[in-house]
Each structure stands twice: as C-alpha cells, then as structure tokens.
Amino acid sequence: MKRILFFAFIFYLFLSCSNKIENVEKSIYYWKSDSWDLSPKEREVLNNLKVRKLYIKFFEIDHNEAYGDFPVSKSSLRFYQEEDFIIVPTVYIKNEVFKNTNRARLDTLASNINFLITKYTKDKFERADPVKEFQMDCDWTLTTKDNYFYFLKKLKNISKKEISCTLRLYPYKYPEKMGIPPVDKATLMCYNLINPLENHSKNSILDIEELKLYLNKKRKYPLHLDIALPTYSWMQVYQNDHFYKVIYGGQKEILKSLKEIKPLWYEVTKDTVVDDFYLRIGDKIKYENLTPVKINEAIEVIKKNVDFDANTTITLFHLDEEQLSNYNNEELSAFYSNFSN
C-alpha cells in the first residue's frame, strides 16, 4: 500500500508541475500606423510561422480639455479579398480618458469606438466583415477601474462582438484589489514590467526576476487567459543626462556608432542622423533588447505559474520586419511551440 501511495504522490507531483497548452493558436500584434501593406518579409514571417491571427491596432484614444476624447495614430494597413487572416481590431486607450468622466461620456466613447472600428473595417478589408472580436488595451488603475469596466460593458452591449482586453501583471496578481474586467477573455502582457525612466540598471521590457515577483505561484484567473510576449527592442536616448526620445528603427546602423560603457548603456562615438534626428557625440543610449534564451526563460516562468485553458492564444509583439530580424524562424516558432512542450 505504501508503495502505491508513493507512486501516486509522484504522479500527482508530475501532473501539478506540467502545464502544457494542448492547442496553441499563434497570433501577432501589428502596431504600426504608417504602412499601407505588409512588407514581403513580414508576409514571409507569417507564412513560415503559419500565423493567421493578427491583433491590429486600429487607432488610439487620447483626451484633452479642448477636444475631449479623440482618436489618434490610426493604422493605414489594408487587407484584400484573398487573404484569410483572422483580424482582431485593437484600440489603445490612455488611462486619462477614464479620469474625471461620467456615464454619458463613456456611453458616447463606446458608441464612437464601435462606429470607427466598423467604418475602418469596411475601408480596410475588401471582403465580408471578418471581425468577431474587439480588443481594448488600457493600463487601468484603481481610480479608473469602475469607469473602464463600465465602458467595457457598454461596448459589449453596443457592438455585439466578443470583447477582450489586455491584462497587466499587477491586476493579474491582485484581482481582489484591481477587479476582474467584464470581458470574454484577457491577454496577459508579460512585458513592460518596469518604468524605463525610473530604473536604469534593468531591462524594462523583460526582467526575469521582476516577472517572478508577479508570477510567483500557480493561479487560476477567473477569465480565460491568453499570453503576449515581447519580440521588440528599443533605444532610449539621453542628451545631457536627460531623457530625450525612444528610437525603434535603424538600430543596427546606430550600433555602429556606439561603444558600450556598462551593461545596457552605450555612448555615441560619432555624430549620426536617424530619421532627421541627430545623435551627437557623447549622447547616452540605453539599448534594451531580448535574446531567444531570455524569452524562453520567461516562457518557463509563465508555464509554471499560469493556469491555462486547453486552447490558448500566444501573441508576439509585434510584426515589424526590422524587429523580427533579430530572430530566425526556428527561434520565433519555438516561442509558440514551447508552450506545448
């Protein structure tokens, strides 16, 4: 009997440590606003990885006293009749939109977002409406939670679509404090864990020890959870020791003009022009990028601590030819398949 109980205990431990996704749906974010079409390389990546689902940022919502709530950074991407992508219109809404507002304004916001998504869908897609889901992306806080949740309910009622939202790690870890968004499902954003301007010694895109602070035990979230992973890099430019701007493009060329001065930090060694912006000798750059090893390490932390459903979507951020050139097809493919291994 003791022998049987021993093996039963070992079997239980094995099952409790195993957290594979039976069916991984591959997807990727498209977050650019200045392109009319995917590049040949970007289409090649999608085909090689067999990704057919795209979360496309249609526009962002900003707010000021003069104009109220208004759309900015509209996407120019188009798709055509023969393309069979599953399209999820995604809208980034600044948290300020939900401060000092009221129900009437939130009703109008939900109605306007539904109208614009519907309009842009008809303009962008030369085929029948392919959209079944809207995703809202907002870093809501404790003070804006009630207004944001009211808006999500209203959008669901108006659109008659499946509504998903992004979920940062803090509200994931503290649902009793931050609440459960009233949506059909959420995408857990496993990146941007640190304020990039407040901690100069860590990679703000993805720091494994920081990730472990939030994913520190197995949890079952009350909503279906999908997962989003970072596959991007950026350069934070400092002039005279003051933050100036972020550079996403032309990084490989810029690296030729830099020398490393300490981990993550570089100094400009010759004057360089980047998209009409001048990098001057002596400027400092914090260069944050991610290796495949680092991303796969994060995947293991996620697998150990997040309770998945059998069918789960894994989304990479984001579809950009230059950014994805840092990884080969095998490495990108593994970011999906490792969730099933």
Contact yes or no for 116/75 (Cβ under 8 A): no
**Mind listing the pLDDT tens digit of every residue in the chain (341 residues)?**
445 444 444 444 444 455 789 999 999 999 998 777 899 999 999 999 999 999 999 999 999 998 899 999 998 888 776 678 899 999 999 999 999 999 999 999 999 999 999 998 887 776 566 689 999 999 999 999 999 999 999 999 999 999 999 999 999 999 999 999 999 999 999 999 999 898 999 999 999 999 999 999 999 999 999 999 999 999 999 999 999 999 999 999 999 999 999 999 999 999 999 888 899 999 999 999 999 999 999 999 999 999 999 999 999 999 999 999 999 999 999 999 999 99
Q: Tell me, what amino acid is at 92? A: Y
Task: Identify the pLDDT of residue 16.
Answer: 45
The residue ranges of every structural domain in the chain are 21-233+289-337, 234-288
* Cis previous bond, 224, omega within 30: no
Contact yes or no for 299/191 (Cβ under 8 A): no
List the beta strands (DSSP E) in 75-193.
Answer: 86-93, 133-137, 162-167, 185-189
Angle between the N-to-C axes of helices 40-49 and 329-337, in degrees from 0 to 180, rounded to the nearest 10: 40
Task: Identify the pLDDT of residue 276.
Answer: 80
Q: What single DSSP character describes residue 55?
A: E
Contact yes or no for 64/24 (Cβ under 8 A): no
Fold (CATH) for 21-233+289-337: TIM Barrel (3.20.20)
Q: What single DSSP character describes residue 130?
A: -
Task: Identify the pLDDT of residue 192.
Answer: 95
What lies within 8 Å, CB to CB, of 46 at 6+ separation is 28, 38, 52, 319
| 260 sits in which H/E element | strand 258-262
Task: Identify the pLDDT of residue 36.
Answer: 78
Task: Identify the pLDDT of residue 12.
Answer: 41
Task: Identify the pLDDT of residue 274.
Answer: 85
Using only C-alpha atoms, what is the Rg of the chain? 22
